[in-house]
Amino acid sequence: MNKKIITIILISTGIFGAGLASSQKINFSSILPAVAKPSVALSDEQQGILAVRTAKASVVDIIGVPANAGTNATGDAVYGTGFVVESSGLIVSNNHVVSDPSLNYTVILSDGSEYPAKVLGQDKFDDVALLQINAKNLTPAKLGNSDKLETGQSIFAIGNSLGEYQYTVTRGVISALGRAVDEGTDSTSQSGNRLHNLIQTDAAINPGNSGGPLVNLAGEVVGMNTLIDTSGASLGFAVPINTIKDAEQQLKTFGKVSRPFLGVAFVTIDPVVQVVQALPISNGALISQVQPGAPAATAGILAGDIITGINNITLGQNKSLDDALQTFGAGSQVTVKIYRNGQSLSFPVVLGQQQ
């Protein structure tokens, strides 16, 4: 009975088209489904090696030199990093790497080949630039989702350190998310010198690493190395990859990113600002200046007002006014909520376009 049942099962699966003689021996190990073997988990070190190997194929060096100086020039040369986002030769880097229009920029691929680069578009507010080289069949980076990042997860920074040590890899963790950091000494709102929603990491980011990828253990690019804070313990900061994705299409089509404009300078209120300014509330944006003729001025917003929210977005330590504004497009009508002299007020504002 058992042999008969087995024979019927085997025929029904199409293994033996004409049946099976009762005297024929069966090698069941060759015809029954194989038992799944437990997969061997990679060690953290092995995962890291594979992640870096995956990402490095899309990383490029960028050199900017004065006209007729050649790529071996020193002194006035600018060194940076980038990574391929489209196989047709589109490359992303930092705006500050390619911000000097007097320089000629060259991209060096991982195989050592060199191509002159054209800057297609620049966004100084998020420090993103898009370049084009005349090359085909490049290996684009595998892009991740920076909205899913968690503090404490392992990452790698890859870049052209010091303009001399190409494809340098450093390892660390994501130490904070949503940071706002000054590029220089001017922290004035919408000045172009303050970057928002950055990824903070303890992975070493050296001069020349700017524009290189920040990579997770899956080999996905989750950010772009942008700046370091050397005032104390060295901390690195990266632009989230989702910010870059949002900017890429506009940079490719228009050469810039359309941004909403309110027309105010402000200080984000924190416990120190609250005490020093003797403010009655602990969260919001204290307006220090309103630009004449700007949307805020037209709506009736004054210096000394405190913006507490826009539409249903409440300002706080993790949501600055600039962050809230980026939720809306230029030309949007929004309701700006104000605290003024003990009163809560609302002002309808049509946002302008940042120039």
- Measuring CA to CA, which residue among 90, 274, 12, 266 is closest to residue 20? 12
Tokens 């990679």 locate to 42
Q: Which of 93, 161, 210, 320 is catalytic?
A: 210
State the Cα–Cα distance between residues 70 and 108, nearest whole angstrom. 13
Q: Is 22 a catalytic residue?
A: no
Tokens describing residue 197: 């929603």
Q: Is 210 a catalytic residue?
A: yes
State the Cα–Cα distance between residues 339 and 224, nearest whole angstrom. 37
Q: 110: Cβ–Cβ under 8 A, 6 or more apart, which residues? A: 56, 57, 58, 59, 60, 167
Specify whether the backbone of 167 is left (phi greater than 0), alpha (psi in -120 to 50) or beta.
left
State the Cα–Cα distance between residues 135 and 179, nearest whole angstrom. 36
Taken in order 194, 199, 205, 209, the sign of the CA dihedral is negative
Q: Is 44 a catalytic residue?
A: no
- Measuring CA to CA, which residue among 326, 327, 333, 330 is closest to residue 347? 333
Tokens 């030769």 locate to 89
The HSE-up count of residue 66 (CA atoms within 13 Å, CB side) is 5
Pairing of the two strands 306-310 and 333-340: antiparallel
79 CB burial (10 A radius; 0-12, 13-18, 19+): buried
The backbone torsions φ and ψ at residue 205, rounded to the nearest 5 degrees and listed phi first, read: -120, 115
Tell me, rounded to whole angstroms, the distance of Cα 85 from its chain centroid. Answer: 12
Which amino acid is present at 114?
A: E
Q: Which of 123, 126, 127, 305 is catalytic?
A: 127
Tokens describing residue 284: 């919001």
Q: Which of 58, 61, 93, 96 is catalytic?
A: 96
Q: Which residues are catalytic?
A: 96, 127, 210
